Amino acid sequence: ASERTFIMVKPDGVQRGLVGEVLRRFEQRGYKLVALKMIHPPRALLESHYEEHKGKKFYDPLLAYIGSGPVVAMVWEGLNVITVGRKMLGATDPAKSDPGTLRGDYGIVTGRNIVHGSDSESAAKREINLWFRPDEVSNWVHTA
Ligand code: CMP
């Protein structure tokens, strides 16, 4: 079914100039961009976004990393975009990601894995609502 997912280029991806590459891959795959913004995420937003990881060993370094600079947050729409989007990103650990995926082509370590993507329908809903106001998400349609 057509669905929406939250994709975010993390600070390392922004700093390495990979924003265009992420956008290009999703556009070329055929997905529709319905929201996009650059934001230096405040701590409270990251605490909500990563609430399921609170208490884990990597939680503090993770929040420091994602809060270290601006990220590019986006919402993509299309057929099975949650599952296919995760495939396009690759495994959480870039060393285990297949070549051809974003992390498999551009990453080496989990602590700098370039991009985030929602891992389920409920996560996608939650994350889109967390990062975007309803009026920041467009319902544009092809006209020509
Ligand atoms: P992401 O899929 O965006 O969501 C959780 C993030 O935690 C993950 O990407 C990694 O950036 C980070 N992380 C760091 N260490 C680990 C780990 N050991 N297991 C899972 N995620 C980790």
Q: What are phi and psi of 63, to 5 degrees?
A: -65, -35
92 lines ligand 1 (CB under 6 A): yes
Q: Domain for residue 94, yes or no?
A: yes
The answer to whether 7 and 26 are in contact (CB under 8 A) is yes
Exposure pattern of 8-33 as b/e (b: 16+ CB <10 Å)? Answer: bbbbbbbeeebbebbbebbeeeebbb
> What is the domain extent for residue 66?
2-133
Q: Domain for residue 126, yes or no?
A: yes
CA pair distance 92, 95, nearest whole angstrom = 9
Q: Once rounded to an integer, what is the mean pLDDT over residues 126-144?
A: 95
Q: Domain for residue 144, yes or no?
A: no
* CATH code assigned at 94: 3.30.70.141
One-letter amino acid of 68: S
For residue 142, the model assigns a pLDDT of 84
Domain count, the chain: 1
Query: How does pLDDT run across 49-101, given as a tens digit for each residue?
Result: 999 999 999 999 999 999 999 999 999 999 999 999 999 999 999 999 999 99
Q: Domain for residue 40, yes or no?
A: yes
Q: Which residue has the tokens 């602590």?
A: 111
Q: How far is the CA of 144 from the centre of ligand 1 (A)?
A: 42
For residue 1, the model assigns a pLDDT of 87
* Strand partners for 9: 72, 115
Q: Domain for residue 65, yes or no?
A: yes
Q: Domain for residue 80, yes or no?
A: yes
Instruction: Specify the ligand 1 atom closest to the Cα of 113.
Output: 11
97 lines ligand 1 (CB under 6 A): no
Percentage of the chain lying above the pLDDT 90 cut: 97
pTM strictly above 0.80: yes
